[in-house]
Amino acid sequence: MNEKNLVLSVSPHIRSEESVKKVMWFTVLSLAFPAASAVYFFGLYPLLVMLVSAFTAVVAECILLKLRGRDVSQCLDGSAVVTGILLALTLPPRFPLWEAALGAAFAIVFAKQFFGGIGQNIFNPALVGRAFLMAAFPVDATTWSPTRFMSPDTFTGATPLANFKFEKVLTPYKDLFFGNVAGSMGETSALLIILGGLVLILKGYVDFRLPLSYIASVFCFGGIMWLINPSKYPDPLFHILAGGLMLGAFYMITDMVTSPITRKGRVIYGILGGFLVVLIRLFAGYPEGVMFSILIVNSIRPWIDRLTKPRVLGEV
Amino acid sequence: MKNEFRMVIVLTLIITIAGCLLAYTYVSTQDDIQRNLENSMRTALLSVVEGVESYENIALDEKTSVLKAKDSNGNVIGYGVMITGGGFQGDIKLMVGFDKDASAVLGIEVLENVETPGLGNRIIEDWFKKQFEGAIPPIEVLKGQKPQNRSQIEAITGATISSKSVANIVNNAHKALETYLGSGGGGESAGRGEEEILEYFEKRWPEKRLIKKGTYYVINDKSGQSISYGIFSEGVEGGDTVKIFMTVSKNFSKIEDIVIMNGSEVSVDKEKLDELQKRLIGESLPLSSSNVEVVTGATIIEDGVVSAVNKGFEALKKELK
Amino acid sequence: MAQNSRKPGYELVKGFFKENPVLVQLLGICSVLAVSNTVVNSISMGVSVLFVLFFSSLVIGLIKDLIPNEVRIPAYIVVIATFVTVADLFLKAKFPDISKALGAYIPLIVVNCIILARQEAFTKKNKLLPSILDAIGMGTGYIITILLMGIIREILGFGSIFGVKIFGSWFKPILVMILPPGAFLTLAMLIGFMNFITRKSEEKKL
C-alpha cells in the first residue's frame, strides 16, 4: 500500500494549514525569549548547552526512528529540537555539556520513542530528561551560578526558593521579575518567559487557560498558606515569580501531547498542577515543585480527558 | 477421614524435621552472630571514645543503647550512645561518644545511612564528623557560616537536611543519656541520682520541705510540722541491686510515695516500673510479697523492691522509735 | 507428557536463556531490582537463591509423592523457608557485611516467585533428576541475570567492579544507576534486549 494515499489518524479530522513541523519550529522561535534571558544573565555557555542538547536530541531521535523502522526524516520536524532546548533551559547555567547531551538522549529515547514516538508519550520528555539528570548527577544539577550582575563573593549558591525554604531569606520582586537571580538558565526571567508565552498564545498554539489556571492556582494556594502563617510561608507573588513556575506554565504544562484536549480539562489540569507545586514547595524535601507537579499531572491526563469528555448529543 | 489424618501426619513430620534442622543451624551460628554484633559495637565505640578496654551495654529502647565505656581498671571513662533516627532518605544510625560527665560530645561515627551519595552521604566524611568533637549539645546547624561556638556546626552544602538530621540525632542521644544517668542508672553517679530524686520531691510538693537528718529525711509541711519520713534504701535480689527512695507516713503504717531509682539498669521497662511504683503507694508496712499484687513483667525486681522497702522501714523505725 | 521425552541436558540449560526465570518468565524481579547495585551483592544474592532452589527442589522432589495434594503449598513453603533461614543464619554468622548489605532481601527469598513456581510447575510433576537439573538451571539463569545487572549498575554508578575502581579519576559516576530508578531502567533494557534476540532467532527459523 502506498503510504502517501491513505492517512490514518485519530479524530477530530480537521483540515488546516498547520502541521507538526510548523508548530514545532514556531515554538523553537518563541523559545528565543527565554534563551535570550539565559545568555543575557549567564553568558554564552548556556547557548552551547542548548545547541548540544538540541543536536543530541535530534540525533537520538533519528537513530531510534531508524531502529524502529520508521520514517527517519521525522526527526527534523522540530519536536526534538524543542525538547532539547527546553531541557537545557531547566539546567543550571554551568551544567556539563556531556551530561546535558546524555539527558537529552535519555529524554528522547525513553520518554518519547519508547512510548511510540511523537504524540504517544505520556510524560513531557524535557521534564523526564531533567528528572533523570537530577537523579544521575544530583550535585551538578543543583550547583548554581551568579548572574553577571551579582558579585561572586556574596553569592550564596542558592536559588531564591532554596534561600527562602532553608534560610528564610526573601529576594526582591524586581530581581525575580527581570531575572537577576540564580536558577536554571531559562527560568529566571519572568518577563521574557511571559513575552515568549504570549507569542505562542497569540498564534493560537497555546490555550491561555493552561498557564492562567496553573499560575492562578499557585497564587491562590500559596496565598492561603501565606495568610495562615505569613512568617513561615512566602507570599503568593513570590511563588509565581520565583523558581521555574513561569517556564513550566508557558512551555511545559502546555505541551500539546501531554495536556488535556478539552478546555474544562485544561483548567482542572492547571489547578491540580498548581496545588501540587505549592504542596511540594512548602512541605516536601525539595525547594522546587514545578517539575514534579507537571510530571504527576501528566500521569493523570488521560483520566481528566475522560472526565471532561463532552456529552454526545442525545446520549443519556 | 484417612486423608485428613495423613495431611496432619505429613505436615507434622515436615515441620518437626525442619524445626530440628533449624534449631541445629541456629545453635551452631549463634556464637558467630553474637561475636559479629559485639565486634561491630566495639569497633564503633572505639572510634568515638579513646582507651576503651571494656564496656557495658544497656538497651534503652529499640532505637537507643547506652554503652558505658570503661578503662582497664573498670572506671567509667565515657559513654557511647548507639542511636537510630530519621535522615533525609531513610534512617541514620550513629554511635555518639560522650565524656564521662555526659556534657560534651567526644565524636561521632556514622554506622548506617542511605543518604544521597555525593550529597547527604557526605556526613561520613571526616571533616563533617570532626565538627562534633568537643561539641556541646544542644547542637545547632549553620548554613554557609563558620561555627562561632562549641554548640554549632556547619552544614554540608546542598545537604542541609541530612546535616540537620545528624545534629538532631546527636541531641537526642544526649537527652537519652542524661535521662538515663539522671534516673540513677549511672551507678557510679548514684550521688547525682539522689540529688535529682530530692529535687523531684521538692518540685512535686513545693509546700513541703525535705530535711536531711543523717541517714534519713524528715518531710515538714509549711508550718514546720513533720508529716512524714523519707529514706533511701537498697534491696538485693537475684544479683540485682534495687535502689529506692520512699516516704512513709508518720506512724510508719504505710508507704506514701516511692521512686525506684535505678530502674533503667534492670531489665524491666519503664511502664511496668511506674505501675509497680503506683501499686506500692498506700501499701501498709511492713510489705509482704504476697500482699503486693504482681505486676507482669516486673516480677524480676519486685522481690528486690519489697526487700528494699522493708529494709528502709526497719531502718526508719530504728532511728525514730 | 512431552516433558518426559526431553533430554535431561535440556532441563539444565533451558534456565540459562530460553526460559530464563527473570528475563523471560519475569519472576523474582523485585530481588533482582533491589540488590543488584554492586557485583558482590549480586553474586551473594544469586548464590543464595541457587542454594535455596537446589535444596528445595531436592527435598520436595524426594517427598512429593508423600504429601497429600491439599497441603502441598504449606508443605513446600515450610521446606523453602527452612532453607532460606539456614542461608540467612549462615550469612549472618560468616559474612555479616554481606548480610547487612542484602538486608531484608534474604528472608524475602521465601516469597521469591521463582522457587515456588518451579516446584509447582516442574518438580511436582517430574522425576527427581530432571527436577534437580531444572533447579540448577533456573538458579544459574537467575545468577546470570542478576550478575549482568550488577556489573552494569556498578560500573556506571560507582565506576568499579567488586569494589575496585576501574576508571581513572576522570570518570563521573551516573548516580541514578545505583538507585532504584536505575535498576528499573537496566532491567527494562535487558528484557527488551532479550525479546529482541528471541524475535530475531525466531525469524531466522522461519
Q: What is the pLDDT of residues A136-161, one digit of tens each?
A: 998 899 889 888 888 777 777 788 88
Shortest distance, CA B91 to any CA of chain C (angstroms): 14
Residue A163 to residue A183: CA distance in whole angstroms: 11
Task: Tell if the CB–CB gap between B119 and A139 is shorter than 8 Å.
Answer: yes
CB contact under 8 A, B26 and C89: yes
pLDDT band at B318 (very low <50, low <70, confident <90, very high): confident
CB atoms B143 and A166 under 8 Å: yes
Chain C contact present for B23, CB below 8 A: no
Per-position b or e across A97-112, b if 16+ CB within 10 A of its CB: eebbbbbbbbbbbbbb
- B208 vs B200, B214, B255, CA distance in Å? 12, 19, 17
Residues 6 or more apart in contact with residue A139 via CB below 8 angstroms: B118, B119, B158
State phi, psi for B96 to the nearest 5 degrees. -110, 125
- Residue B169: the pLDDT is 93
Q: How many CB atoms lie within 10 A of CB B134?
A: 12
**pLDDT band (50, 70, 90) for residue C1:** very low
Q: Which of A95, A100, A120 is nearest to A110 (CA)?
A: A120
Q: Does ipTM come in above 0.85?
A: no
Q: Is the pLDDT assigned to residue B189 strictly greater than 60?
A: no
For chains B and C, count residue pairs whose Cβ atoms are closer than 8 Å: 56
How far are the Cα atoms of B191, B246, B308 from residue B184, in angstroms, in the given order? 8, 15, 16
Mean pLDDT of chain B: 81
Which chains have 3+ CB pairs within 8 A of B?
A, C
Whether B244 shows a pLDDT value over 70: the answer reads yes
| Whole-angstrom distance, CA of residue A267 vs CA of residue A279 | 18
Which chain A positions have a beta carbon within 8 Å of C172's beta carbon? 96, 99, 137
Query: HSE on the CB side for C70, CA within 13 Å?
Result: 6
Burial A222-231 (b: 16+ CB within 10 A, else e): bbebbeeeee
Residue of B nearest to A165 (CA): B160
Please tell me whether residue C37 adopts helix, strand or coil conformation: coil
pLDDT in tens, A160-199: 888 887 777 788 888 889 888 889 999 999 999 999 999 9
In A, which residues are within 8 Å of B143 by CB distance?
166-167
Question: What is the residue-wise DSSP string for C44-77?
Answer: HHHHHHHHHHHHHHHHHHHHGGGS-GGGHHHHHH
Nearest CB partner across the interface for A166, out of B88, B118, B160:
B160
Class of domain B194-320: alpha beta
Cell numbers for B200: 523531684
Subunit contact A138:B119, Cβ cutoff 8 A: yes
pLDDT at B188: 43
- Taking residues B8-15, report their average pLDDT: 92
Which chain C residues are within 8 Å of A138, Cβ to Cβ? 175
CB A217 within 8 Å of CB A210 = no
8 A C-beta contact, residue A161 and residue A286 = no
* List of chain B residues whose C-beta atoms are within 8 Å of the C-beta of residue C74: 11
Residues from C contacting B (CB-CB < 8 Å) are 63, 66-68, 70-71, 74-75, 78-79, 81-82, 85-86, 89-90, 92-94, 96, 100, 175, 178
Please, how many CA atoms are within 13 Å of residue A153, restricted to the half-sphere of its CB?
0
pLDDT band at B136 (very low <50, low <70, confident <90, very high): confident
Residue A85 sits at the vertex; the CA angle it makes with A79 and A88, to the nearest 5 degrees, is 140
Which of B25, B117, B118 shows the shortest C-beta gap to C86? B25
B105-112 and B140-142: which strand pairing?
Answer: unpaired
Record: contact A136-C185, CB cut-off 8 A: no
Contact C150, C43 (CB under 8 A): yes
Give the residue from C174, C184, C189, C196 with the most A CB atoms within 10 Å of its CB, the best one to mutate.
Answer: C174
Number of H-type helices and E-type strands within chain C: 8, 2
- pTM for this predicted structure: 0.73
Q: Are A196 and A202 in contact (CB under 8 A)?
A: no
3-state secondary structure of B221: coil
- Name chain B contacts of C58, Cβ cutoff 8 Å: none
Tell me how far apart the alpha carbons of residues B67 and B49 are, in angstroms, rounded to a whole number: 11
C 169-198: CB under 8 A from A:
172, 174-177, 179, 181-182, 185
**B289 pLDDT more than 80:** no
Report CB contact under 8 Å: A139, B161: no
- pLDDT score at B315: 84
What is the pLDDT confidence band of residue B237, given thresholds at 50, 70 and 90?
Answer: low
Interface residue B9 vs chain C (CB under 8 A): no
Min distance A55 CA to chain B CA atoms (Å): 30
Residue A127: is it exposed, middle or buried by C-beta count within 10 angstroms (0-12/13-18/19+)?
Answer: buried
Minimal C-alpha gap between C155 and chain A (Å): 14
Q: How many Å apart are CA B94 and CA B169, to the nearest integer? A: 8
CA within 13 Å, CB half, A64: 23
- Does the N-terminal peptide bond of residue B138 adopt cis geometry, omega within 30 degrees of 0? yes
Q: What is the 3-state secondary structure (H, E, C) of chain A?
A: CCCCCCCCCCCCCCCCCCCHHHHHHHHHHHCHHHHHHHHHHHCCHHHHHHHHHHHHHHHHHHHHHHHCCCCHHHHHCCHHHHHHHHHHHCCCCCCCHHHHHHHHHHHHHHHHHHHCCCCCCCCCHHHHHHHHHHHHCHHHHCCCCCCCCCCCCCCCCCCHHHHHHHHCCCCCHHHHHHCCCCCCCCCCCHHHHHHHHHHHHHHCCCCCHHHHHHHHHHHHHHHHHHHHCCCCCCCHHHHHHCCCHHHHHHHHCCCCCCCCCCHHHHHHHHHHHHHHHHHHHHHCCCCCCHHHHHHHHHHHHHHHHHHCCCCCCCCC
**Which residues from A are below 8 Å from C177, CB to CB?**
136
In which band, very low, low, confident or very high, does the pLDDT at B192 lie, cut at 50, 70 and 90? very low
Cβ pair C175:A137 closer than 8 A: yes
Q: pLDDT of C164-187, one tens digit each? A: 888 888 888 888 898 889 999 999
Task: Give the least confident one: A310-314, B5-9, C105-109.
Answer: A310-314
Chosen from C172, C178, C185, C189 to mutate, greatest number of chain A CBs within 10 A: C172
Could you tell me the CA-to-CA distances from B30 to A293, B40, B41, C26, C134 in Å, in that order?
Answer: 51, 15, 16, 37, 34
A83 CA to centre of own chain: 9
Query: pLDDT band at B185, cuts 50/70/90?
Result: low
List chains touching A (3+ CB pairs under 8 A).
B, C
Put simply, whether B145 touches A (Cβ < 8 Å) is: no
Q: Is C53:C139 a contact under the CB 8 Å cutoff?
A: yes
A110 contact C CB<8A: yes
Sheet holding B54-61, edge to edge: B54-61, B64-70, B76-86, B91-99, B105-112
Taking the C-alpha atoms of residue A140 and residue B202, their distance in angstroms, rounded to an integer, is: 59
Distance of alpha carbon A219 from alpha carbon A79, whole angstroms: 31
- Residue C17 C-alpha from the chain's centroid: 12
Residue B65 has pLDDT above 50, yes or no: yes
* Minimal Cβ distance to B7: which of C63, C70, C93: C70
Is some CB atom of chain A closer than 8 A to the CB atom of B118?
Answer: yes
Interval A217-276: pLDDT, tens: 999 999 999 999 988 899 999 999 988 999 999 999 999 999 999 999 999 999 999 999
Q: Would you state the torsion angle of the CA atoms of residues C76, C77, C79, C83, taken in this order, to the nearest 10 degrees?
A: 140
- Contact flag B158-A166 (C-beta cutoff 8 Å): no
CA dihedral A172, A176, A182, A184 (to 10 degrees): 160
**Contact by Cβ (8 Å): A237, A175:** no
Backbone phi, psi, residue A287, to 5°: -75, -25
Beta bridge partners of B57: B67
Min distance B15 CA to chain C CA atoms (Å): 7
Nearest CA to CA, how far is A182 from chain B (Å)? 15
The CA distance from B281 to A285, in Å, is 50
Nearest CA in chain A to B143: A167
Model pLDDT for residues C15-45, shown as the tens digit of each residue: 999 899 999 999 999 899 988 988 999 999 9
Residue A1: CB atoms within 10 Å:
5
Q: What's the rounded mean pLDDT across residues B228-256?
A: 79
Instruction: Please tell me which residue, A142 or C190, carries the higher pLDDT value.
Output: C190
- Assess B114–C contact: CB distance below 8 Å, yes or no: no
Compute the distance between CA of residue A301 and CA of residue A299 in angstroms, rounded to an integer.
Answer: 6
Best residue in C35, C76, C92 for a mutation probing chain B (most B CBs within 10 Å) = C92
- How many A/C residue pairs have CB atoms within 8 Å? 19
Residue with cell string 454526545: A312
CB pairs under 8 A between A and B: 17
Domain with CATH 3.90.1010 in chain B: 194-320
Interface touch B10/C93, C-beta < 8 Å = no
